[in-house]
Amino acid sequence: MSRLPLDQVEAFVTAARLGNLTRAAERMNLTVSALSHRMRLLEQRLGHRLLARGPRGVEPTPEGQRLFDAIAGPLATIEHALRHASVRSDNTVTLSLIPSMATAWLVPRLPAFLAGHPELALNLQSSTHVVDFEREPVDLALRLGAGHWPGVRAELLFHESIVPVASPALVERHGEPALDRLAELPLLGDPADRWKDWFARFGGQAPERYVARFDDTETLHQAAVQGMGVALARWTLAEPLVRARRLVPLAREHLPAGFGHYLVYPERSVSHPGFAIMREWLLEQAAGPSA
């Protein structure tokens, strides 16, 4: 048998490790179709199935598990050696963050940063998966959570809060009720069902049913923009829509969301000059009045 192509082996190990073809393809910057093609070629070479669909994604077959146990460790060693042997530019910075944070918070601020630092080359990786600093050439990431991630440094940028918002047209039709009368307006259910927390804090009672429920925050905000009802919005994402007069906040009070936005990075990034510039700028932006 000829030597196995490394790209096929990497596809198998990544899919087996993550247990999900979509996430594995994203990690390798491939389409799911391209990843599946590599898997089929490897299985044809070996003459048996390596992955099988399970209740939560894909999982190795017995033959696949034996192969994974034999090659995953050596492959990780090779990747680690190649990553640290590569020549790295001090002026190239790679930042990972979720798409909604990129659109609403980071991108509007970037033109001024890039104009002030023309020597830097910035690579943005907009993705919903949590970056693996040990396996990916990423210098820093913006993460949403409680600030506890093993093996990395985490610095708080700012806390997230939530506030009821509606379209100007809806407010014109219904008026702005008192905080404890919000349930008199058509309400949109949010992914975390935080309306109960809102009414417990500011008075009133959640309705028996919502106009509609959403499991995605950005879609929830867009539904509010279209006038479907009042959304309990994440302020970081809603604030640009408020500035553009597409949404109106219905309360001065904000409810703490219980999590924050963090700057996260591995120890190896500390000695990288480009990272130091980007980190300082991000902390300055987070400390600003419109963070």
Structural domains in the chain plus CATH codes: 6-85 (1.10.10.10), 90-291 (3.40.190.290)
Q: What is the pLDDT of residues 12-37, one digit of tens each?
A: 988 988 988 888 888 887 888 888 88
Instruction: Say if CB 257 and CB 124 are below 8 A apart.
Output: no
What the block records as the tokens of 180 is: 């404890």
- Per-residue confidence band for 1, with pLDDT thresholds at 50, 70 and 90: very low
In sequence order, what are the beta bridge partners of 54? Answer: 57
Spatial CB neighbours of 207, under 8 Å, sequence gap ≥ 6:
183, 187
Q: Which of 287, 266, 211, 284 shows the shortest CA–CA distance to 83?
A: 266
Instruction: Say if CB 255 and CB 148 are below 8 A apart.
Output: no
Q: What is the pLDDT of residues 214-235, one digit of tens each?
A: 988 889 999 999 999 999 999 9
pLDDT at 286 over 80: yes
In sequence order, what are the beta bridge partners of 191? Answer: none
Instruction: Say if CB 242 and CB 255 are below 8 A apart.
Output: no
Tokens 């790209």, located at residue: 7
What the block records as the tokens of 93 is: 């910075």
Q: Is the backbone of residue 143 left (phi > 0), alpha (psi -120 to 50) or beta?
A: beta
pTM of structure: 0.69
